[in-house]
A and B are shown apart, each in its own frame.
Chain A
Amino acid sequence: MADAGALLEVEDLQVHFPLRGSFGARLVGKDVGAVQAVDGISFSVARGEVLGIVGESGSGKTTLGRALLRLVDPTGGSIRLEGEDVLGLREREVRAMRRKVQMVFQDPHASLNPAMTIETAVGHPLRIHGVTRDRADIRNRVSAVLERVGLSPPDQYLGKYPSDLSGGQKQRAVLARAVILSPSLLVADEPVSMLDMSVRAKILELMLGLKNDLDLTYVYITHDLATAKFFCDRVAIMYLGRIVEIGATEEIFANPRHPYTQSLLRAIPDPDPSRSIPRDLPRGEVPDAAEPPLGCRFHPRCPKAFAPCGWEARDLHDMLEQRWAVGGQELFEAERLQLGDLAGLDQPGSRATVPSATGTGDDVATLLDRIREDDSRERIWHGIESITPRPGGAVIEFHPGHDPVLRPVGGAEVACHLYDPELAEVPEQAPPA
């Protein structure tokens, strides 16, 4: 990944937020775990490039952006900006570093101080970094940059307060404030998601113009594939704190390889109602980042998951609950009564015991076999190696799971076992052409 022309290099970046446990747990100093918002992310951004970070809510993309500016402190890994290690900097040096990295926030209405005029707000970076303290000089520079972002004539905007401006104008002012120090990297966290459709394109065009004029590099964080396709040179798809696929924008959109990317692209609404496309969207919700699934983090929702993806006890529990929720009251009562307490299935692990209510494991094994026959297309059966009846319950052995790593496939890098020649002996579906 390390390449000489890179402006920003991120290696194995990790941001974990410790959870606050119960009062008792905190009293005895028990470790209650952490939310793994960003968990081992590596990428690099070349000078002048636009890298898109795309992901659902809760995928950790905003935390990643904030970590790049050290607005949150990463718990591991490294960030190098122009070859300089950002994580080793001390507080004072971090503030100096922020001259080179600027950020644009999602909500333009909230990112300007309501008690500051536009002139003071946009010119404040100049004062903060001691570039100039001369009032006339500041006014000239602010006027010039306001003109550049399309707030002209600048004299009309200098004395205004943020409450006097529209959303688009505010975001222009925020951009002006971000570029007034001519930074080299701009982290834009969903800069247009709060704006009207009509304004979005204009702001994105403005950002592209600024990039060419000022030789900027962007990290563009978004959940919106449409703007990413328009705006980015390369795109990284994030899921639960990890990058699942990264590559050139055209390649990703033309040949999505990771099942998650494929379903994201299929989720884009189609304006033509007569053309119905199969929407095998990921089922369920994004799992809890405090206790992510074993193996590949996407496997419980993946339509193509198979043996090595990291199947485990929690998936079995989810599958049973799902079956009972769909099957109705009678099915639930008939089957639930044969099983004992299922709370033990909530621990992560590749070996689980399904307790029996009657005392013999054979009943449980028979029940599981019947469930398998009912819905053999359920992905979890690919992951179960053996079901052994024992006194008291059935012991279930899952195939050992592996963490997928990013590996080059075609023109992109994908973290999926389907593309691992050692694991994918029987690829059920060839990658789409």
Chain B
Amino acid sequence: MASQLIARAGRAFGPVREARGVPRWIVWAGIVLTLLFVVMALTAPWISPYAFDQYKDASGQRFVKQQAPSSAHPFGTNVQSTDVMSRVIWGARTELKVVLFAVVVSLLVGLPLGLLSGYFGGPVDRVLVLIMDALFAFPYLLLAIVIAFLLSDKFGSGVATAAFAISAVYIPQYFRVVRNHVVSLREESYVEAARALGARPRTVIGRYVFQNVVQSVPVIATLNAADAILTLAALGFLGYGIQPTDAAEWGYDSSRALSDAGAGIWWTGLFPGMAIVLLVTGLTLLGEGLNDVLNPVLRRRKMEPVTLPPRAPQEDRA
């Protein structure tokens, strides 16, 4: 059982190992950048010098506000007297938590709806496509703001609200990709063969359609995650995201640093901004790299040189 699982995982990651040339560099650069932030998020309590909302040191002395980088505060402090480095590190945790949550929720809703809609077609499919297209037609940021605004009454302005607001933006994307893929797979011989074997619709969808659709999910999930970071930062920047007392969030920090920039205080804006850029770049590279590596149309594999054994001497034959 375990060995089978390992073999399956090996098969799934095989293309990444076999990738050569530019795609290989893209995918590995993406993996390294993304892992950097994942490690930062997981180890935040230990590597961060202070708590994200800490503005006094242990002796109760308030930090000097907008202090330039120093040994006590490597990235300086901001207008609220909190430590910029701590907020960047804790921010990684918030961003990844929200994005992971949002991607899981959009997948859980978009994937099954797309599967059912694509496989069965008919009036249900038309209505769902209509609803999803209507959601698509909204400016995505406006949609996220409206949802965040509506949900903040019930759940407050925390991680859950931000995650749900972002999910609403991405559900239509998963739905469309999955549905269109299913519509084309439905006509494949092996899906008809499964019906001819006497399989129930549930089995056909689960074992024959889903297994093949799911292969396109890693690519869109990673690319959407990169996009979701930007949406979350935009929400925070506009003040509709996570409140600064709940968690550290780069978008909010960037908006507070806006007035500092004119006064020559560069460190309050640069570090959260760089964090956003690097994480988005990392996830985008990972997504594009995976697409190059997994997509059989774009994929190029390594050619193994073949060495033939030396030719047997003539007298051995005959």
Binds A, one of B113-121, B203-211, B228-236, B304-312: B203-211
Report yes or no: B198 in contact with A110, Cβ–Cβ below 8 A.
Answer: no
Known: A125-B198, A128-B198, A129-B198. A105 touches B211 (CB 8 A): no
Residue in contact with B192 in the complex, picked from A71, A95, A129, CB distance below 8 Å? A71
Rounded to whole Å, the gap between the CB of B135 and the closest CB of chain A is 26
Known: A107-B189, A128-B203. Contact between A115 and B197, CB under 8 A? no
- Name the B residues within 8 Å of A159 (CB-CB): 7
A110→B190 contact, CB < 8 A: yes
Which residues of B in the span 183-228 have a Cβ within 8 Å of any Cβ on A? 188-190, 192-200, 203, 207-208, 211-212, 215
**What 0/1 pattern do residues 64 to 82 of A give for CB contact below 8 A with B?**
0000010100000000000
**Taking CB as reference atom, which chain A residue is nearest B192?**
A71
Residue of A nearest to B190 (CB): A113
Indicate whether A113 sits within 8 Å of B196 (C-beta atoms), given known contacts A105-B189, A128-B203. no
Q: Does A98 reach chain B (CB closer than 8 Å)? A: yes
Tell me the bound Cα distance from A105 to B208 in angstroms: 16
CA distance A73 to B134 in the complex (A): 35
A-side binding surface: helix, strand, loop or mixed? loop
Please tell me if A112 contacts chain B, counting CB pairs below 8 Å.
Answer: yes
Interface pair B192/A115, CB less than 8 Å apart: no
Within 8 A of A (CB), among B153-208: 188-190, 192-200, 203, 207-208
In the complex, which of the residues A102, A114, A128 contacts B199, with contact meaning CB atoms closer than 8 Å? Answer: A128
Q: How many residues does chain B have at the interface if contact means C-beta atoms less than 8 Å apart?
A: 19
Contacts between the two chains (Cβ within 8 Å), count: 59
Partner of B195, one of A71, A99, A110: A71
**CB-CB nearest in chain A for B200:** A95
B196 touches A102 (CB 8 A): yes
Known: A69-B196, A102-B196, A128-B199. A111 touches B211 (CB 8 A): no
Min CB distance B61 to A, Å, is 62
List A residues 91-143 near B (Cβ within 8 Å).
95-99, 102-103, 105-107, 110-116, 124-125, 128-129
Interface centre among B7, B189, B196, B211 (most CB of A within 10 A): B196
B193 proximity list for chain A (CB < 8 A) = 103, 105, 111-112, 174, 177
CA distance A113 to B193 in the complex (A): 9
Q: Which residues of A contact B211 (CB under 8 A)?
A: 113, 115-116
**Contact call B190/A102, Cβ cutoff below 8 A:** no
User: How far apart sit A110 and B198, CA to CA, in the bound complex (Å)?
Assistant: 18
Q: Is the CB of A114 within 8 A of B212?
A: yes
In Å, the complex CA distance between A191 and B165 comes to: 52
Residues of A contacting B192 with CB < 8 Å?
71, 105
Instruction: Report whether A96 and B212 are in contact in the complex, using a CB–CB cutoff of 8 Å.
Output: no
Say whether B197 contacts A124, CB under 8 Å. yes
Instruction: List, in ascending order, chain B residues with CB within 8 A of A115's CB.
Output: 211-212, 215
Give the docked Cα–Cα distance between A360 and B212 (Å).
Answer: 68
**Which B residue sits closest to A177, measured CB to CB?**
B197
Taking CB atoms, residues of chain B closer than 8 Å to A116 are: 207, 211
Q: State which of B190, B196, B203, B207 has its C-beta within 8 Å of the C-beta of A98.
A: B196
Contact between chains at A111 and B198 (CB < 8 Å): no
Within the complex, what minimum Cβ distance (angstroms) separates A163 from chain B? 10
Contacting pair A98 B197 (CB below 8 A): yes
Query: CA of A96 to CA of B211 in the docked complex: distance in angstroms?
Result: 25
Nearest to A174 among chain B residues (CB) is B193
Least Cβ–Cβ distance between B57 and chain A, in angstroms: 57
User: What does the 1/0 interface line of B59-72 toward A look like (CB < 8 Å)?
Assistant: 00000000000000
B212 near A113 (CB under 8 angstroms)? Answer: yes
Query: How far apart are the CA atoms of A99 and B197 in the complex, in Å?
Result: 7
A95 contacts across to B, CB distance below 8 A: 198-200
12 contacts between A and B (CB under 8 A): A71-B196, A97-B198, A103-B196, A106-B189, A107-B189, A110-B190, A111-B190, A112-B193, A113-B190, A125-B198, A128-B198, A129-B198
Closest A-B pairs by Cβ, 8 of them: A98-B198, A110-B189, A115-B211, A111-B189, A95-B198, A103-B196, A111-B193, A113-B190
